[in-house]
């Protein structure tokens, strides 16, 4: 059983209520049928024509309460929650559902902005980021083929502080999901001084910030990708690094690098990509690629269920 398959099996043991606000899409409907039949989650389907009266009143009241200081009226709030994506995020915040998954139709920027606008930020992380679970076929890489890639969804050009916060969130995701010790690398085009540049300086600063916040994490940078994941190359390029070509959490210097790499690995290496899980909120939610399949939606829902299980255990 792969790590991703194990997530689905764990979801079935304690299914949670997950809202899918793009029920006009055939992939979403196909995924919902499988999720329901296999008892992975209790699915709530929303679209622009769905009867949402039993949900929208409470959601509008909460939205108004949150936004009235910005001049939002009660009428504005009622109009806002007519958007299924807004309603999904508000229902998650209210605890009426346990999480939401969207992005099959809506763009990532819409999903992320709505989550930030409606959901409660986890002050312990204070930075919203997007992380993929990536499972490749070769078990000699990462944690028996498993990686976390971040940030692949949210921050176009992160500061050193944002890089560090995204790295901690990504490492904690791996640790909480699988009890695997994070081995975190900040990637650039340089390995330990082989080149100089602004992104390299940010990576080095981010390493120090992670060490301050999470001294238990194994972390290093700047490193090139081959030095981070191939032991033989690590011996040549960075023999003194705590990372011995065995990194399992890869932190990219910007959104271009993260997004391009995950798509390249998914398509060319036929890896399984799940997410991006949106990290930094007090409740779980996940984005999707508009190029996703029904299977991708099933996997994202299962991951959201398991994250909800873990958060419940933490008392959230």
Classify residue 193 as exposed, middle or buried by CB count within 10 Å of its CB (0-12, 13-18, 19+): exposed
The average pLDDT across 62-71 equals 92
Number of CB atoms found within 10 A of residue 250's CB: 30
The average pLDDT across 293-301 equals 97
Whether residue 250 has pLDDT greater than 70: yes
pLDDT band at 47 (very low <50, low <70, confident <90, very high): confident
Helices 84-94, 108-118: inter-axial angle, 10-degree rounding = 40
269: Cβ contacts below 8 Å, ≥ 6 apart: 136, 137
pLDDT digits (tens, 9 = 90+) for 93-150: 999 999 999 999 999 999 999 999 999 999 887 799 999 999 999 999 999 999 999 9
Cα distance between residue 117 and residue 152, in whole Å: 20
Cα distance between residue 174 and residue 179, in whole Å: 7
**What's the pLDDT score for residue 128?**
95
The average pLDDT across 159-165 equals 96
245: left (phi over 0), alpha (psi -120 to 50) or beta: left
Asked if 8 and 40 count as a contact pair (C-beta separation under 8 A), the reply is: yes
The average pLDDT across 192-202 equals 92
Domain annotation for the chain: domains and CATH numbers? 1-120+292-316 (3.40.50.10950), 121-280 (3.40.50.10750)
The average pLDDT across 280-284 equals 96
Asked if 19 and 91 count as a contact pair (C-beta separation under 8 A), the reply is: yes
pLDDT band at 51 (very low <50, low <70, confident <90, very high): low
pLDDT digits (tens, 9 = 90+) for 77-86: 999 999 999 9
**What's the pLDDT score for residue 1?**
85
pLDDT band at 196 (very low <50, low <70, confident <90, very high): very high
Cα distance between residue 96 and residue 308, in whole Å: 13
Whether residue 49 has pLDDT greater than 70: no
Whether residue 54 has pLDDT greater than 90: no
Dihedral sign computed on CA atoms, order 89, 93, 94, 99: positive
Which residue is it, tokens 């993929």?
132
Whether residue 316 has pLDDT greater than 70: no
pLDDT digits (tens, 9 = 90+) for 4-31: 999 999 999 999 999 999 999 999 999 9
Query: Measured in Å, how far apart are the chain's first and last C-alpha atoms?
Result: 30
């Amino acid at each position: 059983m792969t790590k991703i398959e194990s997530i689905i099996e764990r979801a079935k043991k304690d299914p949670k209520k997950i809202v899918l606000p793009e029920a006009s899409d055939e992939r979403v409907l196909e995924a919902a049928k499988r999720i329901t039949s296999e008892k992975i989650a209790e699915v709530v389907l929303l679209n622009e024509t769905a009867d949402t009266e039993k949900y929208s009143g409470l959601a509008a009241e909460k939205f108004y309460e949150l936004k009235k200081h910005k001049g939002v009226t009660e009428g504005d709030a009622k109009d806002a929650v007519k958007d299924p994506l807004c309603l999904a995020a508000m229902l998650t915040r209210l605890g009426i559902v346990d999480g939401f998954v969207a992005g099959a139709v809506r763009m990532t920027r819409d999903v992320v902005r709505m989550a930030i606008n409606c959901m409660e930020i986890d002050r312990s992380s204070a930075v919203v980021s997007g992380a993929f679970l990536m499972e490749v076929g070769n078990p000699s890489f990462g944690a028996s083929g498993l990686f976390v890639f971040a940030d692949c969804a949210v921050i176009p050009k992160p500061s050193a502080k944002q890089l560090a916060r995204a790295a901690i969130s990504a490492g904690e995701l791996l640790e909480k999901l699988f009890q695997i010790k994070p081995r975190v690398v900040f990637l650039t085009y340089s390995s330990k001084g082989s080149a100089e540049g602004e992104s390299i300086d940010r990576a080095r600063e981010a390493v120090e910030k992670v060490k301050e916040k999470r001294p238990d994490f194994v972390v290093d940078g700047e490193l090139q990708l081959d030095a981070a994941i191939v032991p033989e190359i690590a011996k040549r390029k960075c023999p003194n690094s705590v990372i011995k070509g065995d990194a399992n959490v890869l932190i990219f210097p910007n959104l271009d690098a993260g997004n391009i790499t995950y798509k390249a690995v998914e398509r060319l290496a036929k890896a399984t990509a799940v997410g991006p899980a949106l990290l930094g909120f007090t409740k779980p939610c996940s984005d999707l690629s508009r190029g996703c399949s029904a299977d991708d939606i099933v996997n994202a829902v299962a991951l959201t269920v398991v994250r909800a299980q873990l958060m419940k255990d933490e008392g959230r």
